[in-house]
Amino acid sequence: MNEYFILGFFFIVVGIPVILGVGGDMYKRHLKFKEKQLEAISNETAEKAAQYAAHTERLEQRMRVLERIVTDRGLEVADEIEKLRDAPLN
């Protein structure tokens, strides 16, 4: 009976705190990993948003050019479009 008491006492005093300490450390590491993962995803998302914004800006510029060609010189539209086709894209 005395051995069970000593074994139980040892488990309560040493075993449980060690198990909780290891478990807490594992949880902290998991949280750090998730934080880094979310940071990487947010950086990637911001980069894609910037790329989409730049692409949209280029499309808007091209639309403005086409609108100006159509409204200002309706008779020369075909010639202007052909010039734009040959021009390098920015």
* Segment 27-85, tens digit of pLDDT: 999 999 999 999 999 999 999 999 999 999 999 998 988 887 777 666 666 777 777 77
89 Cβ neighbours under 8 A, 6+ residues apart: 58
Question: Is the alpha carbon torsion for 28, 30, 31, 37 positive or negative?
Answer: positive
> Which residue type does 69 have?
I
Domain boundaries of the chain, sorted by first residue: 2-86
* The token pair that represents 60 in the structure block: 């808007």
Asked if residue 84 lies in contact with residue 70, where contact means CB atoms within 8 angstroms, the answer is: no
* The token pair that represents 29 in the structure block: 């590491």
The model's pTM: 0.50
End-to-end alpha-carbon separation of the chain, Å? 86
Asked if residue 70 lies in contact with residue 77, where contact means CB atoms within 8 angstroms, the answer is: yes
